[in-house]
Amino acid sequence: MPLVVPTAASDTASDTAADSARSRILDEAAILFLRRGYEGTSLRHLAEVVGMKAGSLYYHFSSKDELLTTILERGIEVMHEAFDRAEHEHGDADPSVRVGAHIRAHLSALYENGPYTAAHVVTFRTAPETVRAALVPTRDAYEARWTTLLRDLQSTGSVATDVDVNVARLALFGAMNSSVEWFDPERGGLDRFADAITRQFWHGASA
Amino acid sequence: MPLVVPTAASDTASDTAADSARSRILDEAAILFLRRGYEGTSLRHLAEVVGMKAGSLYYHFSSKDELLTTILERGIEVMHEAFDRAEHEHGDADPSVRVGAHIRAHLSALYENGPYTAAHVVTFRTAPETVRAALVPTRDAYEARWTTLLRDLQSTGSVATDVDVNVARLALFGAMNSSVEWFDPERGGLDRFADAITRQFWHGASA
DNA sequence: TTGACGTTCTAACGGTCGTTAGGTAGGTTC
DNA sequence: GAACCTACCTAACGACCGTTAGAACGTCAA
């Protein structure tokens, strides 16, 4: 007894049948992986949240690893898309607002586009090595975009010459990504938070 | 057949018998928790690394949770001790070197005093709620010491007035703690790394 | 009305998990 | 040398894990 509502005819092509169940599974799995970790999340628990039995998940995914891989890949895609938008909208702005736009975009990926990026940053480290290896290229590409951005700003004199661009990037990533442990997107204030991070990254704490 | 070497008489009091096994277990468990996470580490695997059978671990610990709690508590203690030393040695230095000393101390806790602090910062988030709750006071106390430090520096004019001390602290924690994902203490360079983080935190990236 | 298809359920598989009860070998103490 | 303690092992418990084969059910086309 599939509880699927007819949804007023299928949209463009072959859609909204198992696809909605699939994305529902992905959403809830990402939330659980984010909260309890990959090993700490059982498929029976996930199935219960989604409203089916554990075995039924295998109609949509061939293994737990594939489920994780899909989520982690989507997580980086969201980051790339956010970077794209910032680049498109503020690519030729002043250095500080340009950096601010990219910081805002990264935080947007973490909090405003589903749980995938947040799940990625907290789950990647303990993911099975085969899963991790498959993600390395896309991750490296994202890091490279940031490195290029910062190097450009350094070569044009906006970033201080004695700044180690790699350390600066990793520190910034650490600051932004670790906020998933305490920042509450429900309470809002993402713009203000992004401004504070940008200010801290750009000017530092000293008077 | 206990493989315990006589160790030339017991030292001061009742020592070096099961105590060395206990600390051996703690060390290896912290390393495993750090790498694979709490749920991802089985007691059978831990026992194998230590050189005993899984059941034997229960002679030293009453449960896996207690093992984790002990490790996480030790992790904060190490942070506090590092903060103490920095405060004692550079408490009356100039603001920037004072902050630098505390940053160096926190990184020392992460990399130079056993795997406990590193295990703490990566494992706490997914630890069982009962375990987490027991650690909150000591964690809060450590955070409060940093908040007090930064507030003092702000009230004396060393930290800019428009800096949100809480965001600055959390960003700094994120930058330092996330380095466990890529910094290799074997390769050394902790002093240089601490300087780079301090420079980034204090002056920012802008020219 | 029938048959095919899509989606989920039932029921179980072998394996691993944390944990425990009871045994055992060596060291120390009298 | 007998009793005892310490530190570990053996063997198993029930629970849960990811995963699979096959059955059941609703929907839709013919």
Contact B138/A at CB under 8 A: no
State which amino acid sits at residue A85. R
The model's pLDDT over B110-131, given as tens digits with 9 standing for 90+, comes to 999 999 999 999 999 999 999 9
Rounded to whole angstroms, the Cα distance separating B41 from B78 reads 23
Contact A160/B at CB under 8 A: yes
pTM: 0.91
Contact B88/A at CB under 8 A: no
DSSP state of A199: H
N-terminal to C-terminal alpha carbon distance within chain A: 66
Span A70-75, average pLDDT: 97
For B162 and C30, how far is CA from C1' in angstroms? 76
The model's pLDDT over A154-207, given as tens digits with 9 standing for 90+, comes to 999 999 999 999 999 999 999 999 999 999 988 979 999 999 999 999 999 998
| C-beta of residue B194 within 8 angstroms of C-beta of residue B103 | yes
Rounded to whole angstroms, the Cα distance separating A56 from A25 reads 11
**Helix (H) or strand (E) segment spanning residue B43:** helix B43-50
Which residue of chain A has the CA closest to B40?
A39
Q: What is the total residue count of chain B?
A: 207
Distance, CA of B30 to chain centre: 10
Question: Which nucleotides of strand D are protein-proximal, with an atom < 7 A from a CB?
Answer: 6-12, 16-22, 25-28
**pLDDT category of residue A17 using cuts at 50, 70 and 90:** low
Rounded to whole angstroms, the Cα distance separating A67 from A118 reads 16
Q: How many helices (H) and strands (E) does chain B have?
A: 8, 0
Of B202, B112, B57, nearest in space to A160 by CA: B202
- Could you tell me what percent of chain B has a pLDDT over 70? 91
Contact partners, residue B36, CB within 8 Å, separation at least 6? A39, A126
Q: Please check the confidence at residue A3 and state whether its pLDDT lies above 70.
A: no
| C-beta of residue A169 within 8 angstroms of C-beta of residue A147 | yes
Count other Cβ atoms within 10 Å, centred on residue B134.
15
Q: Which residues of chain B have pLDDT under 70?
A: 1-18
Q: What are the distances in angstroms from CA A3 to CA A11, A125, B177?
A: 19, 37, 46
Count other Cβ atoms within 10 Å, centred on residue B35.
15
